[in-house]
């Protein structure tokens, strides 16, 4: 069984809502010295998401997690690989034909302020996708917008207000309402709660959980925050320098990480109760345009050996539903 074929153990017989196989997204980056270099922002990533499931993609800045999200919704064109949405290959679908597909998947961004037009009322912003797709007449559109506002915990009184009149948490609710307008089955959420205060973050996480239950949504939840991920996701994919280094059910991954990088990420996360001392990971993420040979993590890895410097470890099936790309995975003891 390949990784792309696996989903939640309970959902293996249903067709995945999204299937991503060997996805590559490369960019030509200009170097300070003037030369052009290739950045493999996404370098062979495979996963799938079952209907109603949440897969989190977690990692530090520059690991490629956001590029994965943007490539999947085709805001960026992939270099190679396959993106399959409900059985339909959309990897090379042309812009015009993408429109009906966008009804099935929508994106929610970190800062809704930058994705909302400041001159549009919230009502207009939420209705816009309906206009673009020529759906519903005027009065039905209004009813739909009111229903959506209600669903995200904002009342009808917000209909004619402008984005600047909203707090960060309220704007994210508007961003979510807009994403829901066309009844998508999959939401790609890129750091949706990262800019919010803790008490507001909890409100938005709860809203996402409620909406998932009510509407059967699947989420591709992109985040740098392990604690949030632990709370919201069924499965977690950990990315480092363009690749998935570990993929597992949330509970398993947090209980006993197999990849030393996952282990280090967990150890670095600040926590209010700590047993024993924290051993911070040394060094920084290498330049993605000039990744280390062999395993990209080896310069920072406590367990690195000669083989790690020479040979890139493939993502391997180490236990049912558990994958890690490491020559010497942790035993989980």
Partner 1 sequence: MQASDTSTAPRDLLMVRDLRVEFQSQRGSALVVDGISYNVRAGETVALVGESGCGKSVSSMALLGLLARSTARVSGQALLGGAELIGMPPRALEDVRGRDISMIFQEPMTSLNPSLTVGTQIAEVLQRHRGLSVRQALAEAVGLLSLVQIPNPARRVFDYPHHLSGGQRQRVMIAIAIACRPKLLIADEPTTALDVTIQAQILDLLAELQQRFGMGLLLITHDLGVVAEIADRALVMYAGRIVEEAEARELFAHPRHPYTRGLMAARPQVTASHRRGRLAEIPGSVPIRTAQSVGCAFAERCSYVQPRCRAETPAQADKGRGHRVACWQADAIPRLPVEAVA
- Applying CB under 8 A, the residues found at the interface with partner 1 are 32, 60-61, 167-169, 197-203, 205-206, 209-210, 224-228, 230-234, 250-251, 254-255, 264-274, 278, 280-282, 284-285
d(Cα 150, Cα 144) in Å, to the nearest integer? 10
Our CB check for partner 1 shows the closer of 91 and 292 to be 292
Our CB check for partner 1 shows the closer of 23 and 239 to be 239
Cβ contact 175:116 at 8 Å: yes
CB of 98: closest distance to partner 1 in angstroms?
A: 33
CB of 63: closest distance to partner 1 in angstroms?
A: 9
CB of 305: closest distance to partner 1 in angstroms?
A: 21
Element at 82 (helix H, strand E): strand 80-85
d(Cα 30, Cα 4) in Å, to the nearest integer? 33
Our CB check for partner 1 shows the closer of 5 and 251 to be 251
Which residues face 248 on adjacent strands? 236
d(Cα 258, Cα 105) in Å, to the nearest integer? 32
d(Cα 284, Cα 310) in Å, to the nearest integer? 20
Element at 128 (helix H, strand E): helix 122-132
Q: What is the spatial order of strands in the sheet that 186-190 belongs to?
A: 105-108, 186-190, 218-223, 54-58, 235-240, 243-249, 322-324, 316-319
d(Cα 193, Cα 109) in Å, to the nearest integer? 9
Our CB check for partner 1 shows the closer of 101 and 195 to be 195
CB of 119: closest distance to partner 1 in angstroms?
A: 22
CB of 33: closest distance to partner 1 in angstroms?
A: 12
d(Cα 114, Cα 200) in Å, to the nearest integer? 19
Question: What does the chain come to in residues?
Answer: 333
CB of 237: closest distance to partner 1 in angstroms?
A: 16
CB of 273: closest distance to partner 1 in angstroms?
A: 6
Our CB check for partner 1 shows the closer of 69 and 129 to be 69
CB of 250: closest distance to partner 1 in angstroms?
A: 6
Our CB check for partner 1 shows the closer of 61 and 157 to be 61
Our CB check for partner 1 shows the closer of 106 and 233 to be 233
d(Cα 276, Cα 238) in Å, to the nearest integer? 24
CB of 14: closest distance to partner 1 in angstroms?
A: 20
Element at 237 (helix H, strand E): strand 235-240
Our CB check for partner 1 shows the closer of 120 and 330 to be 330
Our CB check for partner 1 shows the closer of 140 and 278 to be 278
Cβ contact 143:194 at 8 Å: no
Which residues lie closer than 8 Å to 245 by C-beta, 6 or more apart? 238, 239, 259, 261, 262, 297, 315, 324, 325, 326
Which residues lie closer than 8 Å to 170 by C-beta, 6 or more apart? 154, 158
């Amino acid at each position: 069984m390949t990784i792309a074929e696996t989903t939640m153990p309970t959902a293996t017989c249903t067709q995945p809502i999204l299937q991503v196989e060997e996805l590559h997204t490369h960019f030509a980056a200009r170097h300070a010295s003037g030369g052009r270099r290739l950045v493999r922002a996404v370098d062979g990533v495979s996963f799938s998401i079952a209907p109603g499931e949440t897969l989190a993609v977690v990692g530090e800045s520059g690991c490629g997690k956001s590029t994965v999200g943007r490539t999947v919704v085709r805001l960026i064109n992939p270099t190679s690989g396959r993106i399959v949405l409900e059985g339909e290959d959309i990897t090379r679908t042309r812009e015009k034909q993408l429109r009906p597909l966008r009804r099935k998947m929508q994106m929610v961004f970190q800062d809704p302020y930058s994705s909302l037009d400041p001159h549009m009322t919230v009502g207009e912003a939420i209705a816009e996708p309906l206009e673009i797709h020529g759906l519903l007449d005027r009065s039905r559109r209004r009813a739909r917008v009111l229903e959506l506002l209600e669903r995200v915990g904002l009342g009808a009184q917000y209909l004619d207000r402008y984005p600047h009149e909203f707090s960060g948490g309220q704007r994210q609710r508007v961003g979510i309402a807009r994403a829901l307008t066309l009844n998508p089955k999959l939401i790609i959420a890129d750091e949706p709660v990262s800019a919010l205060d803790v008490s507001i973050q909890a409100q938005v996480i709860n809203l996402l959980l409620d909406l998932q239950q009510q509407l059967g949504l699947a989420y591709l939840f992109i985040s740098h925050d392990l604690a949030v991920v632990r709370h919201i996701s069924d499965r977690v994919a950990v990315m480092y320098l363009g690749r998935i280094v570990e993929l597992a059910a949330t509970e398993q991954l947090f209980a006993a990480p197999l990849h030393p990088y996952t282990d280090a990420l967990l150890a670095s996360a600040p926590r209010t109760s700590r047993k024993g001392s924290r051993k911070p990971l040394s060094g920084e993420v290498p330049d993605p345009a000039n990744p280390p040979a062999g395993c990209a993590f080896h310069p920072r890895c406590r367990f690195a050996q000669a083989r790690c410097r020479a040979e890139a470890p493939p993502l391997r099936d180490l236990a049912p539903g558990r994958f890690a790309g490491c020559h010497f995975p942790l035993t989980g003891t």
